[in-house]
Amino acid sequence: MALAYSPRMSTPTPPRQTPLSLSPEITLRNRVVIPPMASGTADLSGFVTPETVKHYARLGKASAGLLIAEYSFVHLSGKSEALQLGVNLDEQVPGLKKIAAAIHHSGAVAGLQLTHAGGKTERCFSGGVLHSPSGIRVPVKDRTLEIPTAMSTSDIYDWKAWFIAAADRAVKSDFDVVELHAAHGYGLNQWLSPLTNKRTDEFGGSLKKNARLLLDIVKEIRSQHPPLLLSVRLPGQDFMDGGLTISASIFLAQELQTAGVHVINVSSGIGGWRRPGARLGEGYLIEEAAVIQRHTAVPVIGVGGIETGAFIDELVRANRVSLAAVGRAILKDPETWGKEQLHGGACSGLRASERPSISTATDGRSILP
């Protein structure tokens, strides 16, 4: 890629600092994304508290280009923890506006992630309801969840309506980007994955049918809110036998691009968000993101233990991904990270042997198609 030059310096602008246009109206000032991270600062009904606003003002000090606020439940039946942020009620909009304002004040583009937990929750959080595509227990590495109830066609259309209504609230709350959470084993991931979707109707039985609910939601939101930017957090693979493969995720990414999605945020799937055991160093999910970036025309966000500006420069310079998500490293000290890694020299300090593999899956097999 051609590097931009700063008028004040004779050296090239680092790739991580180059802008990226997402639409004619919205340009990210740099290639750094702060991904959704649960803050546990909402009240028991999902409303924003002063601590929530302070949290996002603090994250804004990292000077990222895009800051996506935490996963927010679209309906009580999709809530998965006690102090989770909600976007299920109109009365929550004033508080959500304060989050968007705090993000905008920092200079970042503001995003909000929408989710329904599906069967990956407990009845004490979800009003006694456990929804799922096929009544199959969601595999989780650290616990055994209750077997959920298979959804009726009426339930499916309720989900669609809840996501669309939540997107409308996000627009009214002044967010620029809405992200649909279809990864980490949560509800929409359960619809995509052959591990949890065994239906044989119009919403299951093939990859295209498994994706119907997600695609219908995307198309309806695009229809109702043409200026709104849409991102989907998509699994690169499920990291479980019989689950989504990288080839399946390429297909899904291409379908989402055709449906009008502006950004694809590649993470992990049914197996959850934790680091796959055999992958070391920064960027442990970059391999999948890079493959999807090669097969799509929309910007792809790569993630997975990314900590340094130098590593982001490598990714962007090589066109492996368009954007890099930095979570825990920024959460620890946003202002220092921004000064030292985004705007500073950003030496990675990693030896070649410590850098993540770019060609092997968790079992050692190449995933590159």
Q: Which residues are catalytic?
A: 186
d(CA 235, CA 256): 13
d(CA 10, CA 132): 57
CB environment 102-127: b (16+ within 10 A), e (fewer): bbbebebbbbbbbbbbbbbbeeebbe
Question: Among residues 9, 64, 7, 72, which one has the least CA distance to residue 36?
Answer: 72
Question: Among residues 101, 35, 45, 42, which one has the least CA distance to residue 69?
Answer: 35
d(CA 56, CA 69): 8
Residue-wise DSSP of 217-282:
HHHHHHHH-TTSEEEEEEES--SSTTS--HHHHHHHHHHHHHHT-SEEEEE--TT-SSPPTT--SS
- Specify the length of the chain in residues: 369
